[in-house]
Each structure stands twice: as structure tokens, then as C-alpha cells.
Structure 1
């Protein structure tokens, strides 16, 4: 039986961080959908999914992530994927569920990306 564990760190809106571990598949994706629903409607603009503990993702799990990404889009939100394991990263690359520039191997990569976005916002480019 597959199992998903998730933890949402109380973040400063508009930034939220969600940690996933275990399996994200047909029997667990509804748990993720339910956990993300309030975040997608509370003014979150950046949703980080830390997948360092995720062992497996199926097409149902990918759909959940894609739906969250789509829900953030109307208010210029972004869904960022952090530290996916090699097998999970390969699935993301194959199906192009999240643009490769929004998948990060380390906290430093993510921090650099967010800093660049803040600079563009401050200069009026975004």
C-alpha cells in the first residue's frame, strides 16, 4: 500500500513550502489536492514543493502538481519543485509537467532564482 506524508511549513504569505515524502499516486493524490487547496486560494504566489523524500510519482500525482501550477497562474504565481530524487526528476523531464527552470537541486539554486525574480519585480520587468 502506498503512503504519502506531507508537511506544510507555516510560511509568510505569499511564500509557502510543502514537503512531500513517500508515494504520490492514484491512492494518495487526493491528500495533496486537499492540503494545497487552501494555499492556492489564500494569496500564495510562490509554492515550493520539496520532493527530497518523494520516492515515486504517478500520472495522478503529476496531474495534482499540474493543477496546482495552473491555479497559481492567474495571479502570476509560481510552483517551484525542490530537490526531486533522480527517478522523480526524470519523470518531470519526460512529461514536462513543470518547466525545467522551475526545478531546483539545492536551496542555493532556489534562493538565487527567487533573488533574480525579486530584482525583476523591483525594476518593473515583471
Structure 2
């Protein structure tokens, strides 16, 4: 089972890059939140946080909430959050969440996570686009 790690590059008050690696899920989001908070405390008003997702292999609803918290924190200081280089299965999760009011479609967080897990596994296993 892949775990999660975070590497911060180019940390400055104006722009910082966080490289996410592995799985951002219910087991690892706390580690991500704590590490991201350390970086966010150093960010100036109007600054930018870049989340490099090129090595992020999986994201659950817990991971999505963590990223939403970063976006909210950056907006509160008139800053920006940019997400770059998502793998296809992670990109699909963001597309689903953007296009679908999740609370209206899934009966529970567990049902949502089961769906996201199935969809990401299909893409990783090379079965093409997930439904």
C-alpha cells in the first residue's frame, strides 16, 4: 500500500510549491494538513501556493477537503492556489467533483470514496475512461 509524502520547494512568502506523492486519503490527510499548515503560515498576502500533483496517485474525499482548506486559507489572504500536473485518475476526480454536486448524488462519504476508488483504479489499470 502506497503511503503519502510531501516535499516543499521554493518556500518563500510570495510563492511556494508543494509536491504531493502517493495517496492522499483518510489515512494520510492529517499528515498533509500539518505539513501544509507550516508552509501556509509563511505565506504573504497575495501570494501563491502551487500543488504539484504529478506524483499523487490517489485522492479520496478527505484529500479533496484538505485541498479545499488550502484554497480557502489562500483566498482569505487574497492569494491563489494552483494545481498542476495531475495524473489522469486524479484529474478525473477533480472533474467529477467540479461537475457534480457531490452531496446530492452520493448517500455518504463512504459511498463517494468507494466510487472514487473504483474510478481511479479503472484508469490506473488501463481500462480507459471510467463512467
- Equivalent residue for 2:72, pick from 70, 86, 109: 70
- After the TM superposition, which parts of structure 1 deviate over 4 Å for at least 4 consecutive aligned residues? none
Matched, 1:42 2:51: no
Q: Residue deviations 1:36-81, cap 9 Å, x none?
A: 1122222242000000001100000000000010011122111100
SS in structure 2 at match of 1:35: helix
Does the CA contact (< 8 Å) of 2:11 and 2:39 recur in 1?
no
SS in structure 1 at match of 2:23: strand
Aligned residue pairs total: 97
Q: Residue deviations 1:96-119, cap 9 Å, x none?
A: 29xxxxxxxxxxxxxxxxxxxxxx
Query: Displacement of 1:90 after TM fit?
Result: 0.8
Question: Which has more radius of gyration?
Answer: 2
Structure 1: distance between partners of 2:98 and 2:42: 27
Structure 1 gaps, min length 5: 98-126
TM-score of the two chains, using structure 2 as the length reference? 0.69
- Structure 1 residue aligned with 2:24: 24
Alpha carbon RMSD of aligned pairs, Å? 1.6
Structure 1: distance between partners of 2:64 and 2:12: 26
Structure 2 gaps, min length 5: 100-131
TM-score of the two chains, using structure 1 as the length reference? 0.72
Does the CA contact (< 8 Å) of 2:59 and 2:90 recur in 1?
yes
